[in-house]
Chains A and B, each alone.
Chain A
C-alpha cells in the first residue's frame, strides 16, 4: 500500500498521508513522494490538513525530501491550515523557512503555477 492517497491536478501531484507521519511511517511517506516524482511532474503538493501528528522523524523527512526535490529542480509545497496544531509545530521547527507552507490546496497549486510560468 502506498502511504499516500494521490491525485493529479493539472499535472501536479497532490498527496495526502493516510496516517500520521512519525518514526514508523516517515520512510514510507518519503518513498511514496519519491515515486510520485518518478511518475512525472515537477511539483508535489503534500496536503497535511487532515494529518494529526508529525513527529521529529517526520519533520526531518520533510526537510530532506524538500532538499531532494530541489536537487531535481522540483518543488515540495505543504498545505497546513493556520491556527492548527501542525502550524504551531511547523513554526517551532522553522519549517516554512525551507519548505513553502500554504493555507489550502488551491493556494499551493496556484504557487506551483506561478513558479513554472
Chain B
C-alpha cells in the first residue's frame, strides 16, 4: 500500500460530491427490481466513496437477524447467506443502535462475519437503513487500507441509505405481496365441502394495515362414517415464516385426522411434531368433530379461544373446555376432549382471537360481546352464520390482527326437502347421515331409520353407476314425510343397468327388504326410484 491510497477520502471536491449525490439519489433506482436496484446502488456508493467493498444486509424480523442481500467486493457474503444477529458484531451494532458506526481498525473489533476479516478489510463505515423510523437493514462500506471515515462520508452513506430505504421497502412489499398471494391462495381451502343438510361458511379478513400474511388458517374435512372435522388455528407471528409453519401444521392435521386418530391424539401428535421442528414458533388450534346423525360434537383445544355454539333455541354458549397449552411449547402434553350436543338447527362458529380481542378490553368482555352477537345472528336468516355473527359484532375499530372465521350450520330438516348430489361414491356416507337425521327428527324407530338410509344409499349407488363416463354429473334426492310414512325419490339422468358384474342385482333385492315399497321407473330421460317406508310413530 502506498501513502496516496490513504489520501483518497480527501479527494472529492464539492462538485464531485454533488455528482455522487445525484447518482445515488437517481430516481430511476426506485423503478428497478430489488436485486437490480441494490447492485446498482452499491456500485455507485462504492465508486462515490472510493471504498473497496459495499454491502447491504436486510432485517429478517421473524428471526431478528440481518441477512446479506447484495454486496460488491464481498460477494461471498451473499453467496454464503451470511446472517448477523441484531446487536452482535459490526452490522448488528449498527442495527441495534440505529446510528452510523465507524470502525477504523477492524483487527481490534468484534466481528461476527469472518469474511470481513478474511478479505483483509481494515476500516468500515455502516449506517442504518430505515423507513419512517422502522429499521429494515444496514448498509456498509469498507476499505482494505486504513481510513478515517469523516462526517462527509457518513452523511453521504446515510443519504444513500435513506434514498435506498424507500425503494427497498417498496420492492420488499411487492415481493412479499406476491408470496402472500400465492400462500394465501394455497393455504386456505378452495371451496368448503358440500354436505347435504349442512351449510359451511368462512371468512378471512386481513388486518387493515399490512400486506404481511397472518398465521391464521381454517380447514374442513369429511371423515369416514360421514363425520365432519373443522379445524381452526393461529400461528403466533406473521409473515412468510408463520405462514409456512401454518401450512405444515395444516397438512399434519389432515394426515392425522385421515389416519383415523381420536381428536386428543391428533392434538398431542401435532404438539410433538411442532416441538420437534424447533421453529421457535407456537400456535393455538381447535379441532371439532361432528357426528350430525347422532347430534354429537367433540372439541379439543390447544390454547385456542372457545367456539361459539348456538342451539336450535337460539341460545348462545361457548364451547368451554379444559384445553391444553398452545402447540409447540413443550412435549408430552395431553389434550382432553369435551363433548357437546349438536342437534339439527344448531350453528357453530370457530374463529381466531383477532375477532374478539380489543385493546384495553378484557378477553371475557370480548367473549361476552361474541355471545351476544351469536344471539342476534341466530335470529337472522339471510346470509351465512359467519357473516351474520361478523356483522352483529361489527364495530368501528380497525382490525389489528388477521381474523379467520369458520362456521357450520346444521339446517333443520323439515318434513320435505330436496338435495342435488354429485355422482361420486364419496357422497353416499353423507347421504345416509342426512336421511338418518331426517327420520330421527321425524320420530322414526332405529330399524326404520336404518332401512330407509341404506335403501336410499342403494338407489343412489345405482344412480352413480348410471353416470359412468359422465363427468360432473348430478342426481337428485327428494325426501317427504307426513309422519305416517316416509318417501324418498332418487332421480338420475342415466340408464338403469339390469345386471352388473359387482352384484348390483343384490341392491334391488336389498332395497325391497329394507323398505315397504320400491318402484323403479326407467325411461330415456333417466331412472327414478321411489322408496316408501311406513313409520310406526310414537318413537321414544
A contacts, CB < 8 Å to B: 1, 5, 18-20, 22-25, 52-53, 55-57, 59-60, 63, 85, 88-89, 92-93
B426 touches A19 (CB 8 A): no
A85 touches B503 (CB 8 A): no
A55 touches B258 (CB 8 A): no
Extra contacts besides A56-B504, A85-B446, A85-B450 (15): CB < 8 Å: A19-B223, A19-B224, A19-B225, A20-B428, A20-B432, A22-B457, A24-B428, A24-B429, A53-B453, A53-B454, A55-B507, A57-B504, A57-B507, A60-B503, A92-B514
Interface of A is mostly: loop
A53 touches B224 (CB 8 A): no
Among candidates A5, A52, A59, residue contacting B260 with C-beta atoms closer than 8 Å? A5
Instruction: State A85–B457 Cα separation when bound (angstroms).
Output: 15
B224 touches A56 (CB 8 A): no
Q: What 0/1 pattern do residues 202 to 220 of B give for CB contact below 8 A with A?
A: 0000000000000000000
Could you list some 23 contacts between A and B, CB below 8 A?
A: A1-B258, A1-B259, A18-B260, A19-B223, A19-B225, A20-B224, A20-B225, A20-B226, A22-B428, A22-B429, A22-B457, A24-B429, A52-B225, A53-B432, A53-B453, A55-B457, A57-B504, A89-B454, A89-B514, A92-B513, A92-B514, A93-B506, A93-B509
Could you say which residues of chain B place their CB within 8 Å of the CB of A63? 503
Instruction: State A106–B172 Cα separation when bound (angstroms).
Output: 66
Instruction: State A76–B247 Cα separation when bound (angstroms).
Output: 42
Q: Is B120 an interface residue (CB 8 A)?
A: no
Could you say which residues of chain B place their CB within 8 Å of the CB of A55? 428, 454, 457-458, 461, 507, 510
Could you say which residues of chain B place their CB within 8 Å of the CB of A20? 224-226, 428-429, 432
B260 touches A56 (CB 8 A): no
Could you say which residues of chain A place their CB within 8 Å of the CB of B446? 85
Q: Which residue of B lies closest to A17 (CB)?
A: B224
Q: What 0/1 pattern do residues 502 to 525 of B give for CB contact below 8 A with A?
A: 111011011001100000000000
The distance from the CB of A81 to the nearest CB of chain B, in whole angstroms, is 13
Instruction: State A93–B259 Cα separation when bound (angstroms).
Output: 31
Could you say which residues of chain B place their CB within 8 Å of the CB of A59? 503, 506, 510
B447 touches A56 (CB 8 A): no
The distance from the CB of A82 to the nearest CB of chain B, in whole angstroms, is 14
Count CB-based A-B contacts (< 8 Å): 79
Could you say which residues of chain A place their CB within 8 Å of the CB of B458? 55-56
Q: Which residue of B lies closest to A63 (CB)?
A: B503
The distance from the CB of B462 to the nearest CB of chain A, in whole angstroms, is 9
The distance from the CB of A23 to the nearest CB of chain B, in whole angstroms, is 4
Instruction: State A89–B506 Cα separation when bound (angstroms).
Output: 12
Q: Which residue of B lies closest to A88 (CB)?
A: B447
B contacts, CB < 8 Å to A: 223-226, 258-260, 425-426, 428-429, 432, 446-447, 450, 453-454, 457-458, 461, 464, 502-504, 506-507, 509-510, 513-514
Instruction: State A11–B225 Cα separation when bound (angstroms).
Output: 29
Q: Which residue of A lies closest to B224 (CB)?
A: A19
Instruction: State A88–B504 Cα separation when bound (angstroms).
Output: 20
Instruction: State A52–B425 Cα separation when bound (angstroms).
Output: 17
Q: Which residue of A lies closest to B433 (CB)?
A: A52
B447 touches A19 (CB 8 A): no
Instruction: State A56–B446 Cα separation when bound (angstroms).
Output: 20
Could you say which residues of chain A place their CB within 8 Å of the CB of B429? 19-20, 22, 24, 53
Could you say which residues of chain A place their CB within 8 Å of the CB of B226? 20
Could you say which residues of chain A place their CB within 8 Å of the CB of B425? 22-24
The distance from the CB of A114 to the nearest CB of chain B, in whole angstroms, is 31
Q: Which residue of A lies closest to B427 (CB)?
A: A24
Could you say which residues of chain B place their CB within 8 Å of the CB of A88? 447, 450
Could you say which residues of chain B place their CB within 8 Å of the CB of A24? 425-426, 428-429
Instruction: State A85–B425 Cα separation when bound (angstroms).
Output: 22
Could you say which residues of chain A place their CB within 8 Å of the CB of B258? 1
Q: Which residue of B lies closest to A51 (CB)?
A: B225
Among candidates A19, A23, A52, A89, residue contacting B461 with C-beta atoms closer than 8 Å? A23
The distance from the CB of B21 to the nearest CB of chain A, in whole angstroms, is 66
Could you say which residues of chain B place their CB within 8 Å of the CB of A92? 510, 513-514
A60 touches B502 (CB 8 A): yes
Most buried by B among A20, A57, A88, A89: A57
B450 touches A22 (CB 8 A): no
Could you say which residues of chain B place their CB within 8 Å of the CB of A57? 461, 502-504, 507
Instruction: State A19–B225 Cα separation when bound (angstroms).
Output: 5
Could you say which residues of chain A place their CB within 8 Å of the CB of B464? 23
Q: Which residue of A lies closest to B293 (CB)?
A: A52
The distance from the CB of B444 to the nearest CB of chain A, in whole angstroms, is 12
B507 touches A56 (CB 8 A): yes
The distance from the CB of B524 to the nearest CB of chain A, in whole angstroms, is 25
Could you say which residues of chain B place their CB within 8 Å of the CB of A89? 454, 510, 514
Could you say which residues of chain B place their CB within 8 Å of the CB of A23? 425, 428, 461, 464
B260 touches A1 (CB 8 A): yes
Q: Which residue of A lies closest to B503 (CB)?
A: A60
Could you say which residues of chain A place their CB within 8 Å of the CB of B514? 89, 92
